[in-house]
Structure 1
Amino acid sequence: MSQLKIEELELISCEKILKNGGTFPVLINALNDYDEEKYYVMKAFKKKAIEENYSVFKEIFLSELAPDFNLVAPDYAVIQVESNEVVKVYQNEDKIIDANEYVDQLDKGYKFCSLYLEGLPTVNPEIITKGRLTQYDIENIYAFDQVFFNSDRGGMRDKPNLLINDYEMIIIDHEQSLPFISSFDTGKEINYFNYFKNFNSPTHVFYPHLKKLPKNGKVHLFDEFIDNLRTINIKKFNDLFTELDRMGIEYGNKDDIFAYLYWAKSNFSKVQTLLLEKLI
């Protein structure tokens, strides 16, 4: 089995700021490891987000976790970009008063990039009929966000952070996941059961739809997700941390991350019970 390798891009050009992104994501044109020219969405986090929240790590980690739960996330990569390459594109953003000052606040390390999926609309649950939603595995997305504490799939900003095509939903934006993996909580003993029980479910974009399901229709709602959680190969992520170390991408205490994964896996039955209780 080949070791995991995080793909590194080579910048061709910064195209424009993409709207509706709190971190002012940049559409870039870049070469991947196969010398293919493609468009990517580059997220340039501020130093504070990297130092306190390990935002690039969380984007990578959740992108790696998604396939283990039969969920789709865009192909991702990382890139290093010189400040002068991005200043001009930020100068065209009305909300940024001083582009040079803004760029100075950005982290100088690797930036997270996801493949640009042109033309795919963002999910808007208010205009999608209940019948249309049943074509998609929304219960798996909901469970994934609950187990990994993603507060940004709906939440206070009411942004679903989901793209949609005729046969699948694509999950994007994971930096608001695993809030206890932070520089403030490194090494702290966390009561995962209480954390999970108290995590705010009703703000999730799919909570209203799942809540309305008849009680007898919820019994096996999370069987597929829980089976994937029960059988996940946690040891494989050692390769990921080797890559993160090589690139100098901050993630805090690796033991804290593995501790939660092993707790969730070993307590899969309890996790399933809690997921169902939240929808009663």
Structure 2
Amino acid sequence: MSQFKIEELELISCEKILKNGGTFPLLIEAFNEIGESDYYVMKAFKKKSVDENYSVFKEIFLSELAPDFNLAAPEYGVTLINNNDLIEIHDEAQKVVNSVDYVNQLDTGYKFCSYYLSGMTTMNPELITKGKLSQYDIENIYAFDQVFFNSDRGGMRDKPNLMIDDDNIIIIDHEQSLPFINSFEQNKNVNYFNYFKGFNSPKHIFYNQVKKLAKENDGKLFDEFIDNLRTINIKKFNDLFNELDRFGIAYGNKDDIFAYLYWAKENFSKVQNLLLEKLK
């Protein structure tokens, strides 16, 4: 995975539209930069989503942040594709959309492509025992989503956005994170403390399980996550933004993003207290 050289993929073919994705994600085959072919999930965001929500940026940024918190995200790359080439596959696979109208709304820039995890399944936490969940450090996933305001792991649509097998759990789908950086956000003078305090924690997919764990761990549940937050090297992400500029990927005001990262790092003890307080 990039730290930080974003890989440009060369499209070979679009295989099919994958189910259960609001952005009609496509399974594609593509060459990586050393000429190896593999399968990826390409997310075709609408232009409005890229321009206002910075969806491609958020997918990349949170994928790059995850390893700093000992979390796994899929390898990824970006690719350019002529949107008109998508009309036929949309027309064949999705009778519920007007393919031409839908494709005409898509962004024409680089598209985010996540490595296809063929051996893993979408997680259903209701089918996994408490003992099984404990091996996956779900408290770190919960804390990561809280600190970076991911409202889409659980949320109103109860989406897991997690891939799982017997040994690993991998986080996917980050475009609903960091909402205060969006171009349509009216309040640019964000009070991070209040924003954090008001974030809807009970909607998280692991809220109930983590709440039980918090009672069992005497205030130490998030020690590992907070230690990673306290020691994260924020300056290194300047190199990522250079890569984003190379591909013309929109991210809004970089200063807003760095300001929050530094606030969270400098106020790590406050963040820890808030995480615990919201579970009481």
Unaligned runs of 5+ in 2: none
Most deviating of 249-258 and 211-220: 211-220
Q: Is the 8 A contact 2:50 2:56 kept in 1?
A: yes
For 1:234, the equivalent position in structure 2 comes to 234
Counterpart for residue 128 of structure 2: 128
Q: How does 1:145-164 map to 2 (within 5 A)?
A: 145-164=145-164
Q: Report if aligned partners of 2:229, 2:265 keep a CA contact under 8 Å in 1.
A: yes
Whole-Å separation in 1 of the counterparts to 2:234 and 2:210: 29
Aligned partners of 1:186 and 1:79: how far apart in 2?
Answer: 32
Contact 2:264 2:271 in 1 (8 A): yes
TM-score for both structures, normalised by structure 2: 0.96
Partners of 1:97 and 1:149 lie apart in 2 by: 30
1:163 aligns to what SS in structure 2? Answer: strand
In 2: Cα distance, 1:3 partner to 1:173 partner = 19
Residue aligned with 2:11, SS: strand
Q: CA deviation at 1:100?
A: 1.5
- The aligned counterpart of 1:24 is 24
Deviation at 1:96, TM superposition (A): 3.9
Q: Is the 8 A contact 1:122 1:161 kept in 2?
A: yes
- Partner of residue 116, structure 1: 116
Aligned to 2:193: 193
- Shift of residue 186, structure 1, vs aligned partner: 7.7
Structure 1 residue 264 displacement after superposition:
0.3
Determine the C-alpha separation between the residues in 1 that align with 2:119 and 2:18: 13
Partner of 2:43: 43
Identity of aligned residues (%): 73
Q: Deviations over 1:43-71 (max 9, x none)?
A: 00001101110000000000000000000
Counterparts of 1:78 and 1:218 in 2: how far apart (Å)?
Answer: 43
Counterpart secondary structure, 2:202: coil
Residues 1:91 and 2:91 aligned together: yes
Please give the secondary structure, in 1, of the residue aligned with 2:90: helix
**Are the aligned partners of 1:50 and 1:107 in contact in 2 as well (CA < 8 Å)?**
yes
Q: CA deviation at 1:92?
A: 1.8
Change (3 A) 1:7 1:186: farther
| Alignment partner, residue 269 of structure 1 | 269
Instruction: Report the alpha carbon displacement of residue 98 of structure 1 after superposing the two structures with TM.
Output: 2.2
Quote how far apart the aligned CAs of 1:34 are. Answer: 1.2
Report the alpha carbon displacement of residue 181 of structure 1 after superposing the two structures with TM.
1.0
Deviation at 1:187, TM superposition (A): 8.1
Contact 1:150 1:174 in 2 (8 A): yes
1:95–1:152 Cα change, 3 Å: farther
Q: Secondary structure at the match of 1:185?
A: coil
Residue 244 of structure 2: SS of its match in structure 1? helix
1:158-237 paired onto structure 2 within 5 Å: 158-185=158-185, 188-213=188-213, 215-237=215-237
Number of paired residues? 279
**1:220 deviation in Å?**
0.9
Deviates more, 1:77-86 or 1:132-141: 77-86
Question: By how many angstroms is 1:207 displaced?
Answer: 0.4
**Deviation of the 1:218 alpha carbon:** 4.3
Q: Which has the larger displacement, 119-128 or 209-218?
A: 209-218
The one-letter code sitting in structure 1 at the alignment partner of 2:8 is E
Rounded Cα–Cα distance in structure 1 between residues aligned with 2:37 and 2:214 = 49
The equivalent of 1:5 in structure 2 is 5
Moved over 2 A (4+): 93-98, 212-216
The AA in structure 2 aligned to 1:122 is T
